[in-house]
Amino acid sequence: MTEWLGLPPLASAHGGQIDSLIGWTHIFMFVLFIGWGSFFTYCLIRFRRSRNPVADYAGVTSHSSSYLEVAVAVVEAILLFAFSIPLWAARVDRMPPANEALVVQVTGEQFAWNVHYPGPDGVFGRTDIKLLDLQSNPLGLDREDPAAKDDVTTLNQLYLPVNRPIIVRLKSKDVIHSFGVPEFRVKQDAIPGLTIPIWFVPTITTAEMRRQTGKPEFQYEIACAQLCGLGHARMRGFVTVQTAEEFQAWLQSEIELQSAPDPFR
Ligand SMILES: [Cu+2]
C-alpha cells in the first residue's frame, strides 16, 4: 500500500505500521499543503492593493478561517494521539520477554560498531576499562570471568536469527551515534553513559532478500545516522539474517574460536 513512498524493502514485523504512519502523514500533509496554498493564493488576490487601497480597521468578520484552523489542529491531534503515540508505546514500552528474545549489545565508537553476544548462559561477561585494547579487545571483556567464557564479540558484523524478537542494547563509547537499519525500520541514537534497548523481529533472511531483490550482493547495513566525526561516512556495520539453525551453527563456531586460549598471551 505504501510502495509509492519509495522506501527500502521491508524486512521486520513492525515495519508495516511505521510505513502506514509515514504514508498517512504524507497524505495529510499533502492535503494541508493544498489547503493552505489555496488559502494563501486566495488572500493574495482578495486583499490585493488595487482593491484595498486603505487598510480596513474592522478586518475579517467571518469565522471560517478560525474553524479551518481548529480542523487542522484536530487532524494533527488525531495523528499524534491515535497513531504516533500508540505506535511509539508499542515499540518502546512493550519489550518482549528477555527469555524469548535474543539479547545483543551493540556499542558504537568512532567509527565502528562493537557487537557483544552473551552466549548460551545469557549473561554478558564482565567488562573493564583497564582491559580495553583498541586492537585486540575493544570492549575490555574480561575472559577470566566465568560468564564471559561463552561470550562472542564481533566488529561491524551483527548476525541475527530470522523470525525471533531481537533486543539490541545500544551503547556508545565516545560521542552520540545512531543505529539505523532502514529495512527493519529501526533507528535509535546511542548515547554515551546510557544503555538504550530497542527491539524488532527480522522477517527476511539475507539469502531470501538477495533472491527477492535480484541483487546477489545485497547486505543489510547498519548506517550511523548521526554525524559523529570525520570518519562518520565509513561507520558501516553489516547485518546477516539467517535461519535459526544457521545462526546457532555460526554462534557455536564463534564460541569455540573465541574461547580458545590466546596463543600470544
Ligand atoms: Cu557514528
Residues of the chain with pLDDT under 70: 1, 261-265
In 101-245 the beta strands, taken as DSSP E runs, fall at 102-109, 112-117, 152-155, 157-161, 166-172, 177-181, 186-190, 196-200, 220-224, 236-242
Q: What is the distance between the alpha carbons of residues 146 and 152, in angstroms, rounded to a whole number?
A: 13
- Which of 218, 213, 176, 211 lies closest to 196, judged by CA? 176
* 99 CA from centroid of ligand 1 (Å): 30
Which cell numbers in the block locate residue 41?
Answer: 493564493
pLDDT value for 91? 81
Give the pairing type, strands 196-200 and 157-161: unpaired
Sign of CA dihedral 108, 111, 117, 123: negative
Sign of CA dihedral 54, 60, 66, 68: negative
* 74 CA from centroid of ligand 1 (Å): 38
> Cell match 561463552: residue?
150
pLDDT value for 262? 63
The SS3 of residue 145 is: coil
Q: What is the distance between the alpha carbons of residues 23 and 1, in angstroms, rounded to a whole number?
A: 9
User: How many beta carbons lie within 10 A of that of residue 157, not counting itself?
Assistant: 15
* 111 CA from centroid of ligand 1 (Å): 6
Question: Do residues 222 and 180 lie in contact, with contact meaning Cβ atoms separated by under 8 Å?
Answer: yes
* 262 CA from centroid of ligand 1 (Å): 30
Tens digit of each residue's pLDDT (9 = 90 or more) over 106-118: 999 999 999 999 9
pLDDT value for 182? 95
Residues near 41 by Cβ (< 8 Å), separated by ≥ 6? none
* 90 CA from centroid of ligand 1 (Å): 27
Burial 201-211 (b: 16+ CB within 10 A, else e): bbbbbbbebee
Q: What is the DSSP string of 191-213?
A: -TT--EEEEE-B-S-HHHHHHHH
Planar angle of CA 64, 69, 72, nearest 5 degrees: 125
Question: Do residues 145 and 116 lie in contact, with contact meaning Cβ atoms separated by under 8 Å?
Answer: no
> Cell match 596463543: residue?
263
* 240 CA from centroid of ligand 1 (Å): 20
* 219 CA from centroid of ligand 1 (Å): 19
Q: What is the distance between the alpha carbons of residues 152 and 120, in angstroms, rounded to a whole number?
A: 10
The SS3 of residue 137 is: strand
